[in-house]
Amino acid sequence: MLRTFANIFRVPDLRKKVLVTLAMVVIFRIGTFVPLPGVNTQKIKEAAEKLQGGGEGSAAARALSLVDLFTGGALGRCTVFALGIMPYISASIIFQLLATVIKPLEELQREGEAGRKKINQYTRYATVALCLVQSLFMASWVKGQPFGFELVLPGMQGGPWFTLSTMLALTAGSMFLMWLGETLTEHGVGNGISVLIMAGIVDRMPMAAKQLWGQVDWGRPFTPEGGRMNVIMLVFFIAIYLGVVVGVVIITQGQRRVTVQQAKHTRGHRVYGGQRHYMPLRVGQAGVIPIIFAQSLLTFPNIIFGSLSQRFPDVGFLATLTSAFQVGSFTYTFVYVLLIIFFCYFWTAVVFNPLKMAEEMKNYGHFVPGIRPGKMTAQYLERLMTRITLAGSAFLAFIAVFPQLIHSSLDVDVNVAYLYGGTSLLIVVGVALEIVQKIESHLLMRHYEGFMKRGRIHSRSSW
């Protein structure tokens, strides 16, 4: 392993890519601490602590926690990177969905590199529009003195100047992150957007590990007092974490190989073709997107019912609905699991087209042994992908709910519990595997030994 890391810096091209990646990550982390113009940083810190502490800000905390996860804490600090890269990701997902239903966008995708550049241009325009809308809402929220804190400096409260400067700063920050991600993809290692998101998530892990370490009663390691944790429980938690990581790696790398036979062609006295190869179908075809969609949708019922119950306290069923959609409740967990399974099938149906795949196999003279080319092959692939997606969605739902089980059953801090699954662990493991696969491919191409002597690490799908 140490020899492999040393070989990374022996290859000039690979060394340059690694150094560029590290430099881009450092720039991103520095930008998450640059505050917006005109905000009171001390009051922002106090408001963020109250927002995360629960109480009247608990619903808003759940609504903003997903975005704050992707921004690496920049949203809670009201910095220029507060919107993060989420507007660009949202715009990319929107155009990916529109390309399946709008004929001109579908034709652009088929045009190759020129069509992809045109769609990327439209995506950037949509990113700017999303940034302006989201920054307007954020500027209004900051000016509205949330929880009684005056987050804006006295000289900036009057007039539209604070709103305009905040909108420009947040939009410029998100567009800079978009450029940073694209540059990292071109000149660095791995997908730039994914690497930036992973950097923000990894930044939280040392703090969560410190909180877990602080809960251990080292003075009484086997008979702790006051709800503290003993050494045996600490070892148990570490073992659970390693087991969850191994499971995520297995599912992320898992694939169903479909045998594909190439038809034989006779030309003169020679026979061409006839080779047999495999078509891999990934178990986690949808990646982490179902969890993101499900979390985003489930923030709205809590906020809507919570606001209505405060406005109309005499209406009893509003308070019941608010408590029913609290994070960790049975209703919330049940709906959360159903949404994850639904979005797994939905996103797989968007990115995996069995009819198109079967038609391409027929045109190139490939077929699945025992299955007729064309419609029968499409039905076979669809039936196979449905079964694979069921297993993948079940595991994804378990990983998403597991942090809530850890938090409620073992009375562990929320930041520590969310190290055991959810969006953060899936993103970190998936991006780490992608980076290792890219580095390994560069090393093997130059006749160096990779990270694994047996087998290969398969890449994951990017954002």
SS (H, E, C) 284-301: CCCCCHHHHHHHHHHHHH
> What's the pLDDT band for 176 if we cut at 50, 70, 90?
very high
Burial of 45 (0-12, 13-18, 19+ CB in 10 A): middle
In 54-160, which residue ranges form alpha helices assigned H by DSSP?
A: 58-71, 74-77, 86-98, 103-110, 113-143
In a domain, 56, yes or no: yes
Tell the burial category of 56 from Cβ atoms under 10 Å away from its Cβ (0-12, 13-18, 19+): middle
Tell me, yes or no, whether 98 lies in a domain.
yes
Of 408, 219, 382, 394, the closest CA to residue 330 belongs to 408
Q: pLDDT confidence of 56, banded at 50, 70, 90?
A: very low
- Torsion 256-285-177-94 (CA) sign: positive
Write down the pLDDT at residue 111.
Answer: 80
Query: Contact at 8 Å (CB) between 181 and 193?
Result: yes
Q: Domains in the chain: how many in total?
A: 1
What CATH code is carried by the domain that includes residue 106? 1.10.3370.10
pLDDT digits (tens, 9 = 90+) for 101-148: 888 888 888 787 888 888 889 999 999 999 998 888 888 877 776 656
What pLDDT was estimated at residue 54? 47
SS3 content of the chain, % helix, strand, coil (to 5): 70, 5, 25
Q: How confident is the model at residue 451 (pLDDT cuts 50, 70, 90)?
A: low
Task: Measure the CA–CA gap between 76 and 65, rounded to whole angstroms.
Answer: 9
Phi-psi region of 411 (alpha: psi -120 to 50; beta: other; left: phi over 0): left
Count of alpha carbons within 13 Å of 289, Cβ hemisphere only? 24
Residue 417 reports pLDDT greater than 80: no
pLDDT tens-digit map of 219-260: 666 666 655 677 787 888 888 888 888 888 888 888 888 888
Q: How far is 305 from 320, CA to CA, in rounded Å?
A: 9
Give pLDDT, residue 173: 92
How confident is the model at residue 399, as a pLDDT? 86
How confident is the model over 18-25, as a mean pLDDT?
90
Tokens of 385: 């992908």
In a domain, residue 374? The reply is no
The tokens of 347 are what?
């996103």
- pLDDT surpasses 70 at 450: no
Q: Is residue 24 part of a domain?
A: yes
When pLDDT is cut at 50, 70 and 90, the band that residue 172 belongs to is very high
Q: pLDDT exceeding 70 applies to what percent of the chain?
A: 81
Q: Are 260 and 30 in contact (CB under 8 A)?
A: no
Are the beta carbons of 108 and 119 closer than 8 angstroms?
Answer: yes
Mean pLDDT across 407-419? 70
Q: Is position 65 within any domain?
A: yes
Contacts of 63 (CB under 8 A, 6+ apart): 299, 300, 302, 303
Determine, yes or no, domain membership for 154. yes
Distance separating alpha carbons of residues 435 and 255, to the nearest angstrom: 19
Q: What are phi and psi of 446, to 5 degrees?
A: -105, 20
Write the DSSP string, 214-241: HTB-SSSSSS--TT-B-HHHHHHHHHHH
Domain that holds residue 176: 1-203
Q: Which amino acid is at 138?
A: M
Q: How many residues does the chain have?
A: 463
Beta bridge partners of 257: 280
User: For residue 325, is it within any domain?
Assistant: no
Q: Do the domain assignments include residue 124?
A: yes
User: Does residue 282 come out as left (phi exceeding 0), alpha (psi in the -120 to 50 range) or beta?
Assistant: beta
Residue 271's SS3 state is strand
Q: Give me the mean pLDDT over the 306-322 stretch.
A: 74
Sheet holding 366-367, edge to edge: 276-282, 255-262, 366-367
Q: How confident is the model at residue 26 (pLDDT cuts 50, 70, 90)?
A: very high
Query: Does the pLDDT value for residue 51 go beyond 80?
Result: no
Residue 461 banded pLDDT, cuts 50, 70, 90: very low
What are φ and ψ of residue 265, in 5° steps?
Answer: -125, 130
pLDDT at 128: 93
